[in-house]
Amino acid sequence: MITHPLILHVAIATPLRRLFDYLPDDVSDLKVLQPGLRVSVPFGRRKDVPGIVMSISNKSDFSYSKLRKINRIIDEQPVFTHKHLSLLKWASDYYHYSIGEVVFSALPSSLRKNISISKYIERVWCLTKKGAAFELNLIKKASKQSQILNYLQQRKSPVYESDICSIYPRSKPSLLSLKEKDLITISTEDIEDSVIKINKSPFKLNKDQKSATDEILKSIDNASVFLLNGLTGSGKTEVYMRLMESTIKSGKQCLVLLPEIGLTPQQIQRFKDRFEVNIAIQHSGLSDLERTQYWLAAKSGKAKIIIGTRSAIWTQLANPGLYIIDEEHDLSYKQQDGFRYSARDMLISRSFRDKVPVILGSATPSLETLYNVKKNRYKQLVLSTRTANAKPPKFHLLDIRGKKMFGPISQSLVDEITKHLDSKNQVLLFLNRRGYAVHLFCHNCGWKAECPRCELPYTYHKGINRLICHHCGVAKRHIEQCPDCNKPLLLMGHGTERIEEVLATLFPQASISRIDRDTTRKKNAMSDYLKKIQSGEIDIMIGTQMLAKGHHFPNVTLTGIVDADRGLFSTDFRASERLAQLFMQVSGRTGRGIKEGTVIVQTYNPEHPLFRQLIQHGYNHFCTSLLQERNHSSLPPYSYMVFLRAEAHNSNEVKMFIQNAAMHLNELTNNKLLLFGPIPALIEKRNGRYRYQLIIQSQSRKMLHTHLNVWLEKLESSKLAKKIRWSLDVDPQDMT
Ligand code: ADP
Ligand code: ZN
Ligand code: ZN
């Protein structure tokens, strides 16, 4: 170590797991230099690369003469606070992922470039003298302009542009027209705070909601983790909103994470209706500018509510007061490539750092969470009653062995559908598989239509007459004859398209809608379907996972789970947990109104203990025995797991890479970690690459992570490591 006057340790967006040392430039004031500041640096052959100062010291592993100077400082102020930097650093250590990639992924994409933040600082509008005295009826024709002007005249003080836009959507052109007419202008004053108006809830909390709310309010200034366990429709969102209300009133901000499928316009509207405050909503439809402004609004404390999916976890809040994660068990909270973080686990970590309570909401909590409840680390609050007097649904296991079938639908299910339609109710059929048929093969010679890149069957999509590989997305024209022997090909295995066809012939009078990824690609398609379901225009809906979660269908009295057996015999140790969650979610669509609901489960395995336990004793009881199983076999949450995932065109090289990696790890740890592998991934070949894994397991999280650090350095420098795509997955959630 050599001592220097001042060295900047800078994070740069590269896969290399380290910081890079630079000297200050000659012109900048050394006093402004501090961690969190963005700087432009020369990096390799590139001249102008953005970096973030992580720390400053007078030590470097390199000699002074080898160090280069930064080009310049990009912003006047740091983009990250000390606290946020320490969170990001911790995340980078925990997931063993490059610090540079981690800090840059926590910025909106516009700030990942060398553009100064000042370009994005939001405009504040105020009236001109002329505007303040202006007669509104003079611009009646342009009604948005007159509304905005009226609003500004009422408010009398300057208003943020985003506040105006959240009340009058898409009003930027109107603002500019008003400016041109010299009625409004951009204010240079700093304004105090944005509008805060909270509307009263239309109903009184029920007993469970009240005690849950009171309990959480008691520790509103602490880091406590609560599991709010209640069926869909039991009033969890109402509890969130009451707590958000008191958080906002005390001047603090709320961060709300929703699963990908839950971030619907309806859900957002519920928050907007209740809270007339600055809400930052992060979703995929935003422009760079909007995203950056929301990010800034959260950072400055102006946004009182921040709502988003997984990546919203990295939003920096000036004054956090409450963290909420809805449907905490949802898989979409775990990033499945690149930086494989879990937004739920990060939120809990943030809660401890920030001393802010966190609510995990779910009807079907993950085993990890139930385990933590058992260990008294989290407090469970149960909402047992459904609101609006709804009754829990009745389950029927329907043994379809040897029964008369119409495609995938049994005669008994058809009879049941008829009954419910006759009573003017709605029916939901669930099958988690898109397309028409899953296998296309030749009965004569055994030829199969398979994607050559994944070695898995194509799915036939009849609507577009194409064969699509659901693993790599490749599509090709459908063929009807065997390419080898010219005989007609057979179709096997059913998808949603097939059910739709079968039902159309069985129930010609009924209005039937298929709701899956294929039919909801267009913008607003999903909300149009939801509206039609609510208004009773649709009699039978056929849906995949998309339809299983979170929606309100008060008139659905029958849910049919068409193929319940998938997932019963998977090698993924989490399969039964997932199946049980899906099962409960699907059945949660039924009987949400005053009418009682029925769930029919078609199965070839009516004796399977999973079904029996789930149906007879319910989800939580079922999970208690799952936890016992996990305990016996030392699986998570009773141990900690990391996957080394690797893939390459040459399967021998992948296996060799993993074998070597395992050997090194065993040497390093004296065989103290449990290693399994190389084992093939559930989807062994995808997109032409062979995929293998090494499962690394230990009872001690600390030991696991300490060893991994040393091991990774060695791994990175190995020859094969450069030829193969590989990554670490800490706390993996799926084996695919
Ligand atoms: P969840 O978030 O658990 O699915 P919601 O909070 O969305 O449940 O509540 C389900 C429905 O019940 C909503 O339409 C909501 O407006 C209504 N609701 C919630 N709490 C009450 C209450 N205390 N009294 C009457 N209706 C309620
Ligand atoms: Zn053939
Ligand atoms: Zn494929």
Query: What superfamily does domain 390-436+494-618 belong to in CATH?
Result: P-loop containing nucleotide triphosphate hydrolases (3.40.50.300)
What pLDDT band is residue 50 in, cutting at 50, 70 and 90? very high
Distance 388 CA to ligand 1 centre (A): 8
Residue 283 confidence (pLDDT) above 90: no
Q: Is the dihedral of CA 359, 362, 366, 372 positive or negative?
A: positive
Q: How many Å apart are CA 608 and CA 146, to the nearest integer?
A: 66
For 198-388, the fitting CATH number among 3.40.50.1000, 3.30.465.10, 1.10.150.120, 3.40.50.300 is 3.40.50.300
5-20, pLDDT tens digit by residue? 789 999 999 998 899 9
Report the nearest atom of ligand 1 relative to the CA of 241.
6
Report the nearest atom of ligand 1 relative to the CA of 550.
4
Distance 688 CA to ligand 3 centre (A): 8
User: Is the minimum distance from the CB of 206 to ligand 1 under 6 angstroms?
Assistant: yes
Report the pLDDT value the prediction gives residue 631, as an integer from 0 to 100. 93
182-200, pLDDT tens digit by residue? 999 887 665 555 567 889 8
Report the pLDDT value the prediction gives residue 592, as an integer from 0 to 100. 55
Q: How many Å apart are CA 529 and CA 421, to the nearest integer?
A: 19
- 652 Cβ partners below 8 Å, 6+ apart? none
Q: Are strands 184-186 and 72-73 parallel, antiparallel or unpaired?
A: unpaired
Torsion of CA 483, 484, 490, 493, to 10 degrees: -90
Q: Is 287 exposed, middle or buried (0-12, 13-18, 19+ CB in 10 A)?
A: exposed
User: Is the minimum distance from the CB of 264 to ligand 1 under 6 angstroms?
Assistant: no
Query: Of 450 and 594, which is predicted with more confidence?
Result: 450
- Residue 91, amino acid: A
Q: Is the dihedral of CA 609, 615, 616, 620 positive or negative?
A: positive
Report the pLDDT value the prediction gives residue 141, as an integer from 0 to 100. 66
With residue 131 as reference, give the H or E element that holds it: helix 129-132
Q: Please identify, in words, the CATH class of the domain defined by 2-116.
A: alpha beta
Strands (E), 24-83: 38-43, 46-60, 68-69, 72-73
Report the pLDDT value the prediction gives residue 42, as an integer from 0 to 100. 96
Query: Of 345, 326, 312, nearest to 236 (Cα)?
Result: 326
Average pLDDT over residues 318-328: 96
Largest CA distance in the chain: 86
Output the pTM of the full model: 0.85
With residue 395 as reference, give the H or E element that holds it: strand 394-399
Identify the three-state secondary structure at position 182.
Answer: coil
Report the pLDDT value the prediction gives residue 426, as an integer from 0 to 100. 93
Report the pLDDT value the prediction gives residue 387, as an integer from 0 to 100. 53
Report the pLDDT value the prediction gives residue 172, as an integer from 0 to 100. 85
Ligand closest to Cα of 448 equals: 2
Report the pLDDT value the prediction gives residue 594, as an integer from 0 to 100. 66
Residues 24/16, Cβ–Cβ less than 8 Å: no
User: Is the minimum distance from the CB of 203 to ligand 1 under 6 angstroms?
Assistant: yes
Q: Are strands 490-494 and 437-441 parallel, antiparallel or unpaired?
A: antiparallel
Q: How many Å apart are CA 488 and CA 714, to the nearest integer?
A: 55
What pLDDT band is residue 713 in, cutting at 50, 70 and 90? confident
- 44 Cβ partners below 8 Å, 6+ apart? none
CATH topology of domain 640-730: Alpha-Beta Plaits (3.30.70)
Distance 652 CA to ligand 3 centre (A): 21
Average pLDDT over residues 65-88: 92
Cα–Cα distances (Å) from 18 to 10, 217, 376, 714, 721, in that order, read 9, 42, 37, 14, 18
Residue 412 confidence (pLDDT) above 70: yes
User: Is the minimum distance from the CB of 86 to ligand 1 under 6 angstroms?
Assistant: no
657-673, pLDDT tens digit by residue? 999 999 999 999 888 89
Query: Of 697, 719, 692, 699, nearest to 708 (Cα)?
Result: 697
325-367, pLDDT tens digit by residue? 999 999 999 999 899 999 999 999 999 999 999 999 998 999 9
- Residue 29, amino acid: D
Report the pLDDT value the prediction gives residue 255, as an integer from 0 to 100. 98
Q: How many Å apart are CA 438 and CA 454, to the nearest integer?
A: 15
Residue 460 confidence (pLDDT) above 90: yes
Nearest CA to ligand 1 atom 27: 387
Report the pLDDT value the prediction gives residue 637, as an integer from 0 to 100. 94
User: Is the minimum distance from the CB of 321 to ligand 1 under 6 angstroms?
Assistant: no
Residue 684 confidence (pLDDT) above 80: yes
Query: Of 54 and 142, which is predicted with more confidence?
Result: 54
Average pLDDT over residues 149-174: 84
Q: How many Å apart are CA 258 and CA 262, to the nearest integer?
A: 6
